[in-house]
């Protein structure tokens, strides 16, 4: 449910999808915040494991980064990244914007013409600021993948850790057929990977 509608999905819908009563959900999770935190922790841990596996099993920097992205997209783990990891700030001011709305948001704002360029600043936060050591660990491990690919000249110089996480958090449109859905997700990822890759000038 959260994977489809984001963390704004009401608990009643969560209970209905799980085919249990709302009271059953609240007995296990005293509040929606507790449930969201549990899910976010599990998804963050899963992504971190996938990033470590890619680092350990792929010698080529680009192969490691693309393997991580393909594995994460296929597993669907990135769709429930903690919203604070994808916080957005303006280049001109080094601050987070939209703090009041970010708890309900699943993905950052789009860049728009005529406005300061927006960038995701999650990877610049400390564990204390994020209040989530697991998220900080994820950012550090993915950062290693990003730095290796950039140092090898295979990743665009302006691509950040949070840009990579944004790729994971961007699902393909929902399709009724599972095979078509998987094909659409793979195609979208191919296009996004081409956009991340550095090209000789």
How far apart are the C-alpha atoms of 84 and 99, rounded to whole Å? 9
CATH number corresponding to 39-196: 1.10.357
Query: How high does pLDDT run on average in the chain?
Result: 72
Q: Answer left, alpha or beta for residue 76, where phi above 0 means left and psi between -120 and 50 means alpha.
A: left
Predicted local confidence at residue 26, as pLDDT? 62
Is the predicted pLDDT of residue 178 greater than 70, yes or no?
yes
* pTM across the whole model: 0.67
Token pair belonging to 173: 């449109």
- Partner residues linked to 88 by β-bridges: 120
What are the structural domain ranges in the chain? 1-30, 39-196
Residues 163/122, Cβ–Cβ less than 8 Å: no
How many C-beta atoms surround the C-beta of residue 69 within 10 A? 24
Confidence class of residue 150 from pLDDT cuts 50, 70 and 90?
A: very high
Higher pLDDT, 162 or 152: 152
Antiparallel, parallel or unpaired: β 93-96 and 118-120: unpaired
């Amino acid at each position: 449910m959260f994977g489809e509608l984001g963390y704004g999905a009401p608990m009643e819908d969560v209970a209905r999808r799980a085919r249990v009563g709302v009271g059953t959900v609240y007995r296990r999770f005293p509040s929606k915040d507790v449930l969201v935190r549990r899910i976010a922790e599990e998804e963050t841990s899963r992504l971190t494991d996938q990033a470590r596996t890619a680092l350990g099993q792929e010698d080529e920097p680009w192969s490691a980064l693309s393997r991580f992205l393909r594995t994460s997209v296929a597993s669907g783990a990135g769709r429930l990244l903690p919203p604070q990891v994808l916080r957005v700030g303006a280049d001109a001011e080094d601050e987070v914007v939209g703090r009041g709305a970010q708890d309900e948001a699943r993905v950052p704002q789009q860049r728009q013409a005529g406005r300061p360029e927006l960038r995701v600043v999650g990877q610049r936060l400390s564990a204390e600021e994020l209040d989530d050591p697991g998220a900080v660990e994820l950012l550090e491990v993915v950062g290693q993948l990003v730095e290796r690919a950039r140092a090898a000249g295979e990743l665009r110089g302006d691509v950040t850790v949070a840009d990579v996480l944004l790729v994971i958090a961007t699902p393909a449109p929902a399709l009724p057929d599972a095979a078509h859905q998987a094909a659409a997700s793979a195609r979208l990822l191919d296009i996004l990977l081409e956009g991340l890759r550095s090209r000789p000038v």
